[in-house]
Amino acid sequence: MNSKGATVKRGILSILATVSAITLITACSSGGGSTPVAAGKVTLEFSQWWEPELPAGALRSVMDDFQAANPNITVKLLSAPYASTKDQTIAAAASGTMSDVVGLDGAWVSDFAKQGSVADLSKLMKSAKYDESQLASQIKVGGSTYMIPVVNFVYPMFTNDDLLAKAGISQAPTTRTEFTAAAEALSKLGGNTKGWVLPLSLQAPNGIQNDVMSWAWASGGSMLKGGKPDLTNSAVTSATKYVKELWDKGVVSPGALTMTEQDKVEEFTNGRVGMMIDSLSHITTIREKNPNLKFSISAIPATDGFAGKRGIPYASWGIGISDNSKHKAEAWKLVQYLMSQKVNSKLSTLAHAFPGNTKSEPDFTGTDPLFKTAFDIYKSGAPVNEFTGLPVADQLMRDFDEQFQGVLTGTQSVNDALKKAQAAWKTQF
């Protein structure tokens, strides 16, 4: 072969090699984290923070059962602690590399939906002819569902039994009037004892969600109207004034303006405060740090005479699907599996949480009896967290917190604070 022919042959071989390499790369990079492993088979990536918080091997076992029922689908778990998962998920959403199935916090959903990084689950449910009535809740943006809460962690009221008894109180308060009386009696015990603890740190402003707005939700109130801010309504005004009254009576633990949720739990655990609103997930921590502490949980007190379902704050392990996933149908199969009655019961039992399927029930055998009490509160009430699904939820809490601190320090009225917070919120919607 002459040199010209050899050159042409080498050129053709080079082109073929390049095409083959491109084909191989394309086959291995289907987008959205999916990796086809064989004809008709796919691998779904599932990123979440749940696995580190569950018993070792628990989530993998659930995935193995799913794979046994769906042999054409393999699930690859991408697990990290919550903070790391949050950072990774936000970065992946911006770069279009989000996993097929993704664990979500409700505070992230609005931004992800507006970015177009998470799929419209309403469309997927409709295509699959899925019965939505079995879902306890759905997180929607613009009328469409983008996140489904898989399990829920509620925030009831915790009461120190020994301190209440010492203050002459025989049972946990159920109304605001009873709560005020209990808080005053506890604060009169002397020493460092106070009736209630209120975390209002601006760095971690979730006290506005869990410890302030929860008073409005407990009595059926709302901070929204038609999906828009409505902070000046009677329910929010009443709840804000009530917390101000407690502050003025001197029944709130000192240091509230810089206190975080962790500080709040420590105050209660160490017996310095008689009552707090807190996550059910902290029961085990409290037991471990102070085995001798006797405490109970109950629904958050409502306004006197309220007869409706009491709202109870909650946080969730939410789930969604990447809009870039090439295998949305398979991803939905996994979501549907996790939300099925039997599997959802199992997950809620493992997590010491409450199910996202209305027909599921956790198994409380061998668990702390307070979990059963909390489940009864959960079933009789109405789980609510209106910050879930809102844009820049943390900033909304901080905006409210800044104005509310002015109320507590006496620099402005409740009505003025709510008007200013309302104006700040509107700029975010």
What are the helix (H) ranges across 96-139?
106-115, 121-127
- Do residues 319 and 335 lie in contact, with contact meaning Cβ atoms separated by under 8 Å? yes
From the centroid of its chain, how far is CA 108? Answer: 10
Q: What are phi and psi of 173, to 5 degrees?
A: -65, 145
Task: Give the tokens for residue 341.
Answer: 């009655």
Task: Give the tokens for residue 220.
Answer: 């059926």
Residue 339 DSSP class: T
* Helix (H), strand (E) at residue 35: strand 35-38
Domain extents for the chain? 31-151+317-370, 157-298+392-426
* Domains 31-151+317-370 and 157-298+392-426 are alike in CATH topology: yes
> What pLDDT does residue 39 have?
52
382 SS3 class:
strand
* Helix (H), strand (E) at residue 272: none
CA 295/CA 157 separation, integer angstroms: 10
Inform me whether the pLDDT recorded for 16 exceeds 80. Answer: no
Inform me whether the pLDDT recorded for 399 exceeds 90. Answer: yes
Inform me whether the pLDDT recorded for 416 exceeds 80. Answer: yes
Lowest mean pLDDT across 21-35, 103-117, 163-177, 228-242 = 21-35
pTM more than 0.85: no
Q: What are phi and psi of 417, to 5 degrees?
A: -60, -45
| More confident call, 329 vs 389 | 329
> What pLDDT does residue 51 have?
92
* Helix (H), strand (E) at residue 404: helix 393-408
Domain covering 31-151+317-370 in this structure, CATH number: 3.40.190.10
Residue that has been written with the tokens 């958050």 in this structure: 300
Query: 352: left (phi > 0), else alpha (psi -120 to 50), else beta?
Result: left
Alpha-carbon separation of residue 229 from 68, 223, 226, 358, 387 (angstroms):
47, 6, 8, 29, 11
Cβ neighbours of residue 94 closer than 8 Å, sequence gap 6 or more: 115, 117
**R_g over Cα of the chain:** 26
Considering the four listed CATH numbers 2.60.40.10, 1.20.1250.20, 3.40.50.1820, 3.40.190.10, the one that applies to the domain covering 157-298+392-426 is 3.40.190.10
Q: pLDDT-based confidence at 153, cuts 50/70/90?
A: confident
227 SS3 class:
coil
Strands 311-321 and 382-384: parallel
- Do residues 312 and 381 lie in contact, with contact meaning Cβ atoms separated by under 8 Å? yes
